[in-house]
Structure 1
Amino acid sequence: MPPSDDQRLSEIESRLHRDDPRFARALGAGRPRRPREYRPLRAWLLLATALSALGVGVALPHGLLIATGLVLAGMAGELFDPHRRRSPSRSPTL
Structure 2
Amino acid sequence: MPQSDDERLVDLAARVEHEDPCFVHPLPEGPPARPRGYRRTGAWCALVLGVTMLAAGIVVPDGLLIAAGLVLAGIAVQLLDPNRDEHPVK
On whether the aligned pair clears a TM of 0.5, the verdict is yes
TM-score by length of 1: 0.69
Match for 1:25: what amino acid?
H
Question: Structure 2 length as normaliser, TM-score?
Answer: 0.72
Q: Which residue pairs with 2:77 in the alignment?
A: 77
The unaligned stretches of length 5 or more in structure 1 are: 86-94
Q: Secondary structure at the match of 1:28?
A: helix
Match runs of 1:21-36 below 5 Å: 21-36=21-36
Change (3 A) 1:13 1:84: farther
* 1:5 counterpart residue number: 5
Q: CA RMSD in A?
A: 2.3
Q: Does the alignment pair 1:62 with 2:57?
A: no
Identity among equivalent positions (%) equals 48
SS of the equivalent of 2:34 reads coil
Gaps of 5+ in 2: 86-90
Please list every run of at least 4 consecutive aligned residues from structure 1 whose deviation after the TM superposition is greater than 3 angstroms: 1-4, 28-31, 81-85
Return the offset for 1:83: 5.2
Size of the aligned set, in residue pairs, is 85
